[in-house]
Amino acid sequence: MTSTTNRRLEGKVALITGTGGGQGRAAALRFAREGATVVGCDLHADSHLETRRLLEAEGLQLHGDGSVDLGDVDQARAWVEDAARQFERIDILYNNASATRFGPMAEFSVDDWHYVIRNELDLVFYTTRYAWQYLARQGGTIINIASTAAWCGSTLTGKAAHSAAKGAVVSFTRQLAVEGAPVGIRAISISPGFIKTPGTAAFVENPETRAKLLKGVLLDRPGESEEVAALAAFVASGEATYITGTDLVIDGGLLAT
pLDDT band at 66 (very low <50, low <70, confident <90, very high): confident
Rounded CA separation 83/60 (Å): 17
For residue 73, pLDDT beyond 80: yes
Per the model's pLDDT, the better-predicted residue between 207 and 79 turns out to be 79
Ranking 14-18, 63-67, 97-101 by mean pLDDT, the lowest is 63-67
Q: What is the largest CA-CA distance in the chain?
A: 51
For residue 3, pLDDT beyond 80: no
Contact 41/79 with Cβ under 8 angstroms? yes
Helices 123-138 and 73-87: angle between axes, nearest 10 degrees: 20
Give mean pLDDT, residues 83-100: 98
Give residue 5's pLDDT. Answer: 67
pLDDT band at 198 (very low <50, low <70, confident <90, very high): confident
- DSSP element (H, E) containing 128: helix 123-138
- DSSP element (H, E) containing 201: helix 201-205
Rounded CA separation 94/108 (Å): 30
pLDDT band at 197 (very low <50, low <70, confident <90, very high): confident
Rounded CA separation 232/188 (Å): 9
Give residue 2's pLDDT. Answer: 43
CB atoms within 10 A of CB 102: 15
Rounded CA separation 186/246 (Å): 10
Give residue 1's pLDDT. Answer: 45
* Superfamily covering domain 13-250: NAD(P)-binding Rossmann-like Domain (3.40.50.720)
For residue 91, pLDDT beyond 70: yes
Give residue 204's pLDDT. Answer: 79
Contact 137/180 with Cβ under 8 angstroms? no
Rounded CA separation 41/62 (Å): 9
Per the model's pLDDT, the better-predicted residue between 131 and 204 turns out to be 131
pLDDT band at 4 (very low <50, low <70, confident <90, very high): low
Least Cα distance to 18 among 73, 62, 59, 56 occurs for 62
Sign of CA dihedral 166, 92, 181, 89: positive
In 60-147, where do the E strands start and end? 92-95, 141-145
Give residue 65's pLDDT. Answer: 86
Contact 170/145 with Cβ under 8 angstroms? no
Give mean pLDDT, residues 169-195: 98
Q: What is the pLDDT of residues 147-179, one digit of tens each?
A: 999 999 998 889 999 999 999 999 999 999 999
What's the whole-number average pLDDT of the chain?
A: 95
Give mean pLDDT, residues 54-68: 96
